[in-house]
Amino acid sequence: MGHPSKNKKDVRSSILVVPYRRIDPRSQPPYLFPPYRLTISRAPRKPLIVLPHTLSEVTGPVFGHEEVGETDNDLTRQHAGEPLGERITVSGRVLDGDGRPVPNALIEIWQCNAAGRYRHRIDQHHAPLDPNFTGAGRMLTDAQGNYRFVTIKPGPYPWENHPNAWRPSHIHFSLYGTAFATRLVTQMYFPGDPLMPFDPIFNSVRDERARQRTIAKFDLNRTEPGWALGFRYDIVVRGQEATPFERRK
Amino acid sequence: MSAGNKSAKTLELTPWCTVGPYFAICVTTELCIPQIAKPETKGERVRLICSVFDRNSECVPDTLIEIWQANADGKYNHPADGQAKSVDASFRGFGRQVTDLSGACEFETIKPGRVPGPRGALQAPHLEVGVFTRGVLKRLATRIYFAGDAANGECPVLALVPKSRRATLTAQPVAGQPGTWRHEIHLSGPKETVFFEV
């Protein structure tokens, strides 16, 4: 194989791996949730194998400003004209479980337009596309973990899960965080949406308090008078175990 | 360290949710990354064809596959990798790509070197893999190893997997096409791939 032979003891002493905290399964949806029909053919049935964190899991892709355009966080300025719909801002902080900000983290969002249609070949919903709206944005969090997107409020739309099924308005969020172990993809809902109680995807998170954490908060202070309503959505990704140094504190 | 050591300010995690069918509008040119290794990247070239299947062995299109890997020397391009080895400037080690109508996608990369595992024992060359698709409520984390690698027999992570299921983590060389590897990911069913709780 051509690997240089190494004194194993040296390898051991030079590598410090600080594992991430295990995720409490009650905070998460299961893989198999039959009311969301497609999980029946796609959820694994065998138990997962618990992977002790190695260098492979505590490292992950690092993204830079070269991958994020100046206006990528403003979904209303990506075309010649403005998209139709209720203009909003969605802002918040990305924190770890210890309340520490996660800086320089890539956040990507995607959503349908105000009429409930995605700009995607497989979305056949009978609603118009908006020539001024793509529905995708991205940015990096700042040093304090802050982010802010400008967009329009996405509409609800029907889907084929069960008769008269409608998805509540939502924005998809994707985050890499600091490691393979901190990857998070989620959906943000809007407060007071009457469709939430009927939505199997929203309800796949069985814990009521955990479910509430996926709903943004309307924030009058973040509303820009005469221009856009403001919503706040803080995101919490897992934190690391204390390092040997921190433990002494 | 005791579990009761948690400070009062411990925050509860944001729950996962499925990527749904339409995430591809987000995986745009700059961030659709089928080419993990550039021509100048050091290492043994790998063309990897991944195919995804469901419980009924139907192919699964519109699936996001993500790959994270070390370079040819077994070094991750990340600040948490404290090994005294060099990063390869041409190699981040990250790829992502969406499966086509036949449930398949391809990556160009290099075979990673060995990286230390639990208690310092070296792991066999492997790719970290994330699978995201509608009907899957949270990432499925798996690995891809390379069939025939002598190190597979001593990998401390493969050793955690029942022998009968290890083959589900192993890409196979394609006959007559040197450097091309094929790997099937079965979300469920008789050939269910091993998935990890990370």
3-state secondary structure string across B56-92 = CCCECCCCEEEEECCCCCCCCCCCCCCCCCCCCCCCC
Q: Say which of B138, B140, B196 has its CB closest to residue A29.
A: B138
What was the pLDDT predicted at A8?
45
Q: Does residue A193 contact residue A167 with C-beta atoms inside 8 Å?
A: no
Q: What is the pLDDT of residues A153-202, one digit of tens each?
A: 999 999 999 999 999 999 999 999 999 999 999 999 999 999 999 999 99
Whether A118 sits among the annotated catalytic residues: the reply is: yes
* Closest to B134 in 3D by CA, of A168, A116, A112, A187: A187
Beta strands in chain B (DSSP E): 45-53, 64-68, 94-98, 104-110, 126-132, 140-146, 170-173, 180-186, 196-197
Question: What's residue A245's pLDDT?
Answer: 60
Interface contacts A/B by beta carbons within 8 Å? 260
Residue closest to A162 by CA, chosen among A118, A117, A200, A112: A200
Report d(CA A141, CA A144) in Å as an integer.
7
pTM of the model: 0.94
- Concerning whether A42 is annotated as a catalytic residue, the answer is no
Q: Is B76–A56 a contact, with Cβ atoms under 8 angstroms apart?
A: yes
Nearest to A123 among B22, B80, B121 (CB): B22
Spatial contact of A149 and A137, defined as CB atoms under 8 Å apart: yes
Name the active-site residue from A87, A117, A138, A167: A167
Whether pLDDT at B39 is above 70: yes
Asked if A52's CB is within 8 angstroms of B136's CB, the reply is: no
B134 in Cβ contact with B127 (< 8 Å): no
Tell me which residues of chain A have a pLDDT lower than 70. 1-14, 243-249
The Cα A124–Cα A120 span in angstroms is 9
CA of A165, closest CA in chain B: separation in Å?
15
Q: Which two tokens stand for residue B11?
A: 């925050």
The one-letter amino acid code at B62 reads: D
Please check whether residue A33 is in contact with residue A204, taking contact to mean a CB–CB distance below 8 angstroms.
yes
CB contacts under 8 A, A 205-234 vs B, are 205, 209-211, 213-214
Minimal Cα–Cα distance from A64 to chain B, Å?
11
Task: Give A57's contacts in chain B (Cβ within 8 Å).
Answer: 128, 198
The whole-number pLDDT of residue A10 equals 45
Q: What is the pLDDT of residues B40-86, one digit of tens each?
A: 999 999 999 999 999 999 999 999 999 999 999 999 999 999 999 99
One-letter amino acid at B55 equals R
Residues of B in contact with A109 (CB under 8 A): 26
**CA-CA distances (angstroms) from residue A173 to A85, A109, A248?**
20, 5, 37
pLDDT reported for residue A70: 86
Q: How far is CA A9 from the centre of its chain?
A: 40
Amino acid at A163: P
> What are residue B95's DSSP bridge partners?
B67
- The whole-number pLDDT of residue A124 equals 86
Per-residue pLDDT for B6 more than 90?
no
User: From CA A146, how far away is CA B125, in angstroms rounded?
Assistant: 37
